[in-house]
Every structure is written in structure tokens, then in C-alpha cells.
Amino acid sequence: MYRKRDPQGNLFQSSSLVPPEKARRLEKSWAKAFREKALPLIDEEPFAVMYFEDNGRPNTPVEIVLGVLILKEMFNLTDQETLDQLEFNLQWHYAFRLTPEEAHLCQKTLHNFRVGLMNHDLGRLAFEETTGRILAALGVKVKRQRLDSTHIVSNIALLSRLGIFCETMRVFLKQLRDSHPRLYKRVPSGLLRRYLKDDGASTAYGDARSSDSRRRLGVCA
């Protein structure tokens, strides 16, 4: 269910819980520019089409998920590295106006949001427009590092496809192991380790940096 983020700040944000010296250093970091210049540029309303109007649990604020995906691209992180930064990095808490308790996302949220962006043209256009405004506000030089919105959307598409590939092969291999164990034993061990853990869960192969996603997608294909 779609829910817009409450703009009211929390008195117990991380920046309010650290010594004055650390607070001053936060004020001089990239996190302050992102918090004051980039975050307000994210318009959540165009993304409401990706959620039910009155059914299901309230969504994680689009402002947080979209901002996290942008920082993931800027720092070239995997999903897990990105989630760890959000969970434990004081700069990220400050950048997103979060308390330590609020600073949490699950990998499934990132995956589902990426899939939603690819499935809704309006979401894609809004993302490109938002990213362009944020890059301009932060002064990112796209000639030195190609981080324009088209490139980010392309990376998101690749990561979504990579996740679908990996999950498809995981389910297939698990069913093969359960239904046809003799055939399963003929599958190369390296292939099994890439997609399937011993307990049937997924591996981390689909959790790639954007710089690695195209190569891994080719491997999966």
C-alpha cells in the first residue's frame, strides 16, 4: 500500500546522538549535501503506481529506496554492501534523516523496486528525471564517471534480469535434486555452488556490483 514519507524529522536521528565534534564532521561530509540538496528533489508521487492504493502493508518510503539505489550506483556497491552501509554507516543515517532503528531495508525491497521500475514506464521516466536533478545538485561530473540516469536505469535492468536468471536456476536445480537425484548428481559442482546452497537457499551470485552485472548476466545466460 502506497504511503508518502512523513517530512517531519525525528529528534533522535543519529546526528543528534553523537558528540559535537562528530556532528560537525557530518555537516562537512557528502551526507549533508545529499540530505539538503538531493533528498528533497525526490518526488515520491510518480512512483505510487507501483503500489496498491489500499491493500497490503505500507511501503517503505520511496524517498529512502530510490535514494539508496542512487548511492549504490555512486559507490558501486553490491546489494548487501549497500544494505550494510544503510544499517551501520552514520553518514547514511544522516543523509536519509534516519534513526539507527529506522535505518534498515531488506534485499527483497530493493529487488522488487527495481522490477517495479522496469515494469512501469512512468516510474522509469520519473527515475531518470529525479536522477538528473540529483546529479546536477551534487555536482557529479558525468564526463569523468558515467553516472547519468540512462546508465543507472540500464544497470537496474541488468541487475533485475540477473536476479531472475539466478532465481530461475535455483528453483530448477532444487526441483531436480528433489525429483531426479541421479540426474542432479551429473550437474557440475561449480554450477551448483553458483546458484544453490545446500539448504536450497539462493547464493550471493545474483548480488553483483553494477560493474560486474553485465559479465555475470552473460555467464548465467
137 Cβ partners below 8 Å, 6+ apart?
A: 33, 37, 38, 41
Q: 50-54, 57-61, 216-220 — which is least confidently predicted?
A: 50-54
Q: Are residues 35 and 138 in the same domain?
A: yes
User: For residue 171, what are the domain limits?
Assistant: 160-220
Choose the final residue of a domain: 147, 171, 189: 147
Number of domains forming the structure of the chain: 2
Q: Confirm whether 56 is domain-assigned.
A: yes
Q: What's the pTM value of the predicted model, to 2 decimals? A: 0.74
Confidence bin at 51 (pLDDT 50/70/90): confident
Q: Confirm whether 201 is domain-assigned.
A: yes
Choose the final residue of a domain: 147, 181, 210: 147
CB 58 within 8 A of CB 3: yes
Q: Confirm whether 155 is domain-assigned.
A: no
Residue with C-alpha cell 512501469?
Answer: 120
Minimal CA–CA distance to 100: which of 13, 179, 183?
13
Q: Are residues 58 and 141 in the same domain?
A: yes
| pLDDT higher than threshold 60 for residue 146 | no
Q: Are residues 87 and 109 in the same domain?
A: yes
Q: Are residues 21 and 117 in the same domain?
A: yes
Mean pLDDT across 160-179 = 94
φ, ψ for residue 55, nearest 5 deg: -140, 140
Mean pLDDT across 31-55 = 87
Q: Are residues 107 and 84 in the same domain?
A: yes
Element (H, E) at 89: none
Q: Are residues 33 and 99 in the same domain?
A: yes
Q: Confirm whether 176 is domain-assigned.
A: yes
Q: Are residues 138 and 185 in the same domain?
A: no
